[in-house]
Amino acid sequence: MNTAQVLVELLKEYGVEHIFGVPGDTTMVLYDAFYAARGEITHIMARDERSAAFMADAYARLTYKPGITEAPSGAVGAAFARPRERIVGLVGDGSFGMSGTELATIASLRLPITTILFNNGSFGWIKMLQRLYYGERYLGVDFTGKMDAVAIAEAFGIRGVRITHPDQLGPAIDDALNSNEPVFIDVPTKSELEEVTPVHTWQQALHG
């Protein structure tokens, strides 16, 4: 069981039935886990992060069930919409590179948001497209060097946690949700080249 599968199992334990979000290339391993849990957790696609936050808020208000967003910026909006609820934001490292400064807002307002980063060191979706359709000529899809996402979070004044084994994820999330502070959890994941997402056209290209 990988870390994305552990996370989906934890979401089910917390009674999560719907997730609102915007898929990103670096969270495809998470969407694999959602696909495996179809019928138990339903993903509803939004136009953007703000819409996902509004959708999750409305869902929570109407059903009294957890409203979860899968988007880097949606968590801040959700925190303002539901100030008495614990908010979890799910983000890939590609999206984090573009919107990681949301951590500055979270830290300055001391919003008790738990941010979970899925980190595979690349724009995984784009890299798979380059593998399939451009003769494995990879351009601009691998992140050079080693980004220390935990250090970035801590530089903003947010407690950072680095996961090195799937068994650590559950306790880390429980600890974060039971605290009254922002927490950032860095979760390493495999590349889409190693765990191919169930995208029909990809499967056709790989297997004829």
Looking at residue 15, its pLDDT comes to 87
Q: Are 42 and 18 in contact (CB under 8 A)?
A: yes
Residue ranges covered by each domain of the chain = 3-207
Q: What is the mean pLDDT of each run of 10 residues along the chain (208 residues)?
A: 82 88 71 87 83 82 82 73 82 82 91 91 83 87 83 96 93 93 92 74 77
Summarised one tens digit per residue, pLDDT across range 38-77 is: 889 998 888 777 788 788 878 888 888 888 877 656 788 7
In this structure, which amino acid lies at residue 98? M
**CATH for the 3-207 domain, from 3.40.50.720, 3.40.50.970, 1.20.1250.20, 1.10.3470.10:** 3.40.50.970
Sign for the CA dihedral angle at 13, 182, 19, 90 comes to: negative
pLDDT for the residue 75: 80
Helix count (H) and strand count (E) of the chain?
10, 7
DSSP summary character for residue 165: S
Cβ pair 122, 191 in contact under 8 A: yes
pLDDT digits (tens, 9 = 90+) for 147-168: 899 999 999 999 999 999 989 9
Contact criterion met (CB below 8 Å) for 68 and 51: no
